[in-house]
Amino acid sequence: MVRPEQQVLDLRTTPSSQLQSVAFNAVKNLPVHGSLLLLFAETPDWVMQSLNLCLRNNLAWTVAKMVDESWEVLVRRAEEVPPTDVIDVLKREHKRLDALFAQVIHLTDRGRLDDAAQVMREFVTGLRVHLDIEHGMLVAAIRTPPDVQGVNPSDALVQEHSEILHQSTLIELAFADPGSQVSTVSPLLAILAGYLSKHELREELVMLPIWKQALSRAPQAMQDALLARILKLLEYGKHE
Ligand SMILES: [Fe+2]
Ligand SMILES: [Fe+2]
């Protein structure tokens, strides 16, 4: 049942060749705390997945099949919907940490080194909690077999994390140096930016599917308890 104030886009008679672009134009600027109800004649799965990919996983939606065989999809911004599982939380944390680090680079580029140093501290605090979760709760509990080259992906992950922490410490020290300048900090930021994005990509492609599969085999009560523990550690909602 559609509420009178609900924004609705009826795509039931839109030709399938135009579905994607019409829906994209409607959802790309979803307002904060807004939602949009899309009506489809056919199953909306592929359209929604494709829209979500185009919008960098920023969409959350629920699907309902109507008695007349049409489909209703309620779309919201992903960050406004509570996390559904541990993997969802980790991905959101990657985005949040990336945004903080991008802010450090932006402030440094503008010569605002004190502000950049402050955001860098926030980034490192968040990073340490993130890594504690991945090491203490996931790597410690979920065994991973070596890949074809004989490298255990968990060991590779832990090594990459220590490298990220090491580079972060160097940047914090560079900011803390009374003679710090944009030209001394920027190259260190550029190195970590590259390393971090490669690491996150590898982690999302290799580790998250392994963890997701392992967690899905655990009893639901255990999955819920782990999610609650992680959300508490992250003080979830504090950053919103
Ligand atoms: Fe991670
Ligand atoms: Fe990581």
Domain around 152:
86-233
Domain check: are 176 and 74 in the same one?
Answer: no
Cα(35) to centroid of ligand 1, in Å?
29
Cα(135) to centroid of ligand 1, in Å?
10
> In sequence order, what are the residues at sequence separation of 6 or more whose Cβ sits closer than 8 angstroms to the Cβ of residue 235?
none
> In sequence order, what are the residues at sequence separation of 6 or more whose Cβ sits closer than 8 angstroms to the Cβ of residue 237?
none
Statement: residue 1 has pLDDT above 60:
no
Helices (H), 28-134: 45-54, 86-109, 113-132
- The predicted-structure confidence for 212-224, as pLDDT tens digits, reads as follows 999 999 999 999 9
Greatest Cα pair distance in the chain = 70
Cα(161) to centroid of ligand 1, in Å?
9
Cα(13) to centroid of ligand 1, in Å?
42
Ligand nearest to the CA of 89: 1
CATH code assigned at 38: 3.30.110.40
Which pLDDT belongs to residue 79? 85
List the beta bridge partners of residue 210: none
- The answer to whether position 2 is within a domain reads no
Q: pLDDT grade, residue 108 (50/70/90)?
A: very high
Cα(199) to centroid of ligand 1, in Å?
8
Domain check: are 39 and 11 in the same one?
Answer: yes
Please measure the distance between the N-terminal and C-terminal CA atoms of the chain and give it in whole angstroms: 30
Domain check: are 90 and 64 in the same one?
Answer: no
Q: How far is 162 from 196, CA to CA, in rounded Å?
A: 12
Domain check: are 98 and 75 in the same one?
Answer: no
Cα(93) to centroid of ligand 1, in Å?
7
Which pLDDT belongs to residue 144? 87
Ligand nearest to the CA of 97: 1
Structure token digits, residue 104? 């450090």
Cα(94) to centroid of ligand 1, in Å?
6
- The predicted-structure confidence for 163-217, as pLDDT tens digits, reads as follows 999 999 999 999 999 988 999 999 999 999 999 999 999 999 999 999 999 999 9
Q: What's the pTM value of the predicted model, to 2 decimals? A: 0.78
CATH code assigned at 106: 1.20.120.520
- CB-CB contact of 6 with 72 (8 Å): no
Statement: residue 89 has pLDDT above 70:
yes
- Among 80, 95, 113, the domain boundary falls at 80
- CB-CB contact of 227 with 89 (8 Å): yes
- CB-CB contact of 57 with 11 (8 Å): no
Q: pLDDT grade, residue 148 (50/70/90)?
A: confident
Statement: residue 3 has pLDDT above 70:
no
Q: pLDDT grade, residue 238 (50/70/90)?
A: low
- CB-CB contact of 210 with 202 (8 Å): no
- The predicted-structure confidence for 28-49, as pLDDT tens digits, reads as follows 989 888 999 999 999 999 999 9
Cα(95) to centroid of ligand 1, in Å?
10
> In sequence order, what are the residues at sequence separation of 6 or more whose Cβ sits closer than 8 angstroms to the Cβ of residue 184?
174, 177
Q: How many domains does the chain have?
A: 2
Which pLDDT belongs to residue 140? 86
Statement: residue 76 has pLDDT above 80:
yes
Coil, strand, or helix at residue 160? helix
- The answer to whether position 58 is within a domain reads yes
